[in-house]
């Protein structure tokens, strides 16, 4: 096996593939990237047995078909260290791979391609074409609500729900919930799957600068997305996502409209003196005013008052300030709408300028 490729053509796809590879692996071959040459192209594959990323690049010039695996991180570091626009030549020599560029020469160890695992392909599934920016938007507006290492493993990921006319993303950690919808203009089979947290984050990275359409296939055990020369496959979380509709407040008795940036800055300032562990703040609502108070075990206190559009009964309620800031940082509109019931009810946060997303934040006892 041998081939030549330009550094600029190789580096970015190689970095994307290597990002899937875990540093500490039980199987040595999982620290490697699979390189395959054939049909005029180079195929690079990285996997951690849960996710698989394949990048395909066209090859020109002299080449010889074959396949092998080499250490992913070392190959990335070599490619990064070489000068811009350098041509890199690869050649397998026995159990070693020779990498040459200009006066530089590297010899990498290899492991047989036959040892490299392959994520089984789901033949059947619901397939749709979607703009990468739309899919990235769904993830960006909800991902912060995913749980991290929760024993309720089905919360350590994101629910994707396909229904006629829409694709919905939902994430919750049990204390807050984020939901976002995207309209679809093509018929799809109904499906409901949970993509694991790592898969969500890697997918967001891949979609970041993709210009062309993405093809999304939702199978029984896998989700596959093809965008440009990249094919992303992820196993699904085998579990039942909570009935999220039941925790969305239907009608709050108090509706508050505030300038989003003013409220965000006030919360960020008050958060400085909140309890570092629990992050609680007290919100006192009265006509035309929202007062935010925080204190900590050192007897320090911060207080802010924000003018809001509100006419109704006064209310005092506690929240985790980080949860409110996450929502306000994610929203893009100039205003924020908060719907509240009583001091024991969750708050519903909406962007009046975009009804595609909604957020639920549970109250805290202070």
Domain C-terminal end among 64, 95, 115:
115
323-335 tens-digit pLDDT: 999 999 999 999 9
Domain C-terminal end among 210, 245, 280:
245
User: Encoding tokens for residue 344?
Assistant: 């024991």
Domain identity same for 137 and 241 = yes
Domain identity same for 100 and 33 = yes
Domain identity same for 148 and 48 = no
The reported pLDDT for the residue numbered 203 is: 94
Range of the domain at 81: 2-115
For residue 325, which of 286, 292, 288 has the smallest C-alpha distance? 292
Domain identity same for 130 and 241 = yes
Asked if residue 349 is part of any domain, the answer here is yes
- Element (DSSP H or E) covering residue 132: helix 132-140
Asked if residue 120 is part of any domain, the answer here is no
Asked if residue 31 is part of any domain, the answer here is yes
Asked if residue 135 is part of any domain, the answer here is yes
User: Encoding tokens for residue 343?
Assistant: 């001091």
Domain identity same for 290 and 191 = no
Whole-model pTM: value is 0.92
The reported pLDDT for the residue numbered 120 is: 67
The reported pLDDT for the residue numbered 220 is: 87
The reported pLDDT for the residue numbered 212 is: 77
Domain identity same for 233 and 339 = no
Asked if residue 179 is part of any domain, the answer here is yes
- For 330, phi then psi, to 5°, come to -80, -35
Classified as helix, coil or strand, 295 is strand
Asked if residue 352 is part of any domain, the answer here is yes
Q: Does the pLDDT of residue 121 top 70, yes or no? A: no
Q: What is the spatial distance between Cα 241 and Cα 334, in angstroms, rounded to a whole number?
A: 32
The reported pLDDT for the residue numbered 123 is: 55
Domain identity same for 236 and 139 = yes
Per-residue pLDDT band for 118 (boundaries 50, 70, 90) equals confident
What separation in angstroms does the CA of 243 have from each of 143, 310, 357, 359? 18, 31, 17, 15
Domain C-terminal end among 115, 143, 158:
115
Domain identity same for 86 and 163 = no
Domain identity same for 70 and 130 = no
Asked if residue 26 is part of any domain, the answer here is yes
Q: What is the spatial distance between Cα 158 and Cα 200, in angstroms, rounded to a whole number?
A: 7
Looking at residue 219, which CATH number applies to its domain? 3.10.150.10
The reported pLDDT for the residue numbered 124 is: 67
Total domains in the fold of the chain:
3
Q: Does the pLDDT of residue 24 top 90, yes or no? A: no
Domain identity same for 255 and 205 = no
270-313 tens-digit pLDDT: 999 999 999 999 999 999 999 999 999 999 999 999 999 999 99
User: Encoding tokens for residue 131?
Assistant: 């703009």
The reported pLDDT for the residue numbered 31 is: 96
CB contact at 8 A, 31 and 71: yes
The reported pLDDT for the residue numbered 323 is: 98
Q: What is the spatial distance between Cα 228 and Cα 218, in angstroms, rounded to a whole number?
A: 18
Asked if residue 366 is part of any domain, the answer here is no
Q: Does the pLDDT of residue 366 top 90, yes or no? A: no
User: Encoding tokens for residue 331?
Assistant: 């929203």
Domain identity same for 259 and 226 = no
What percent of the chain lies above the pLDDT cut of 90? 89
């Amino acid at each position: 096996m041998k081939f030549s490729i330009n550094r600029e053509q190789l580096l970015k796809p190689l970095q994307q593939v290597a990002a899937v590879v875990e540093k500490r692996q039980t199987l040595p071959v999982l620290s490697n990237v699979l390189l395959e040459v054939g049909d005029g192209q180079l195929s690079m594959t990285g996997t951690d047995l849960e996710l698989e990323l394949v990048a395909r690049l066209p090859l020109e010039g002299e080449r010889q078909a074959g396949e092998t695996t080499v250490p992913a991180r070392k190959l990335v570091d070599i490619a990064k260290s070489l000068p811009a626009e350098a041509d890199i030549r690869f050649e397998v020599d026995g159990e070693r791979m020779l990498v040459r560029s200009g006066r530089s020469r590297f010899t990498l160890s290899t492991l047989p391609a036959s040892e490299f695992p392959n994520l089984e392909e789901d033949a059947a599934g619901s397939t749709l074409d979607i703009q990468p920016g739309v899919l990235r938007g769904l993830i960006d507006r909800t991902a912060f609500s995913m749980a991290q290492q929760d024993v309720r493993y089905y919360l350590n990921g994101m629910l994707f729900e396909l229904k006629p006319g829409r694709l919905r993303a939902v994430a919750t950690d049990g204390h807050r919930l984020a939901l976002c919808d995207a309209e679809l203009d093509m018929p799809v089979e109904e499906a409901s799957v949970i993509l694991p947290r790592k898969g969500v984050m890697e997918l967001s990275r891949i979609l970041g600068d993709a210009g062309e359409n993405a093809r999304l296939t939702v199978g029984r055990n896998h989700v596959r997305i093809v965008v440009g020369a990249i094919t992303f496959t992820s196993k699904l979380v085998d579990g039942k996502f909570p009935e999220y509709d039941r925790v969305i407040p239907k009608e709050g008795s108090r509706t508050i409209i505030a300038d989003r940036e003013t409220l965000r800055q006030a919360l960020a300032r008050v958060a400085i003196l909140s309890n570092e562990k629990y992050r609680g703040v007290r919100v006192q609502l009265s006509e035309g005013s929202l007062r935010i108070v925080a204190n900590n075990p050192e007897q320090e206190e911060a207080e802010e008052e924000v003018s809001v559009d509100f006419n109704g009964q006064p209310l005092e309620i506690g929240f985790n300030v980080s949860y409110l800031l996450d929502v306000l940082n994610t929203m893009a509109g100039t205003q924020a709408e908060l719907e509240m019931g009583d001091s024991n009810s969750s708050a519903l946060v909406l962007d009046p300028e975009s009804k595609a997303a909604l957020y639920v934040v549970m109250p805290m006892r202070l």
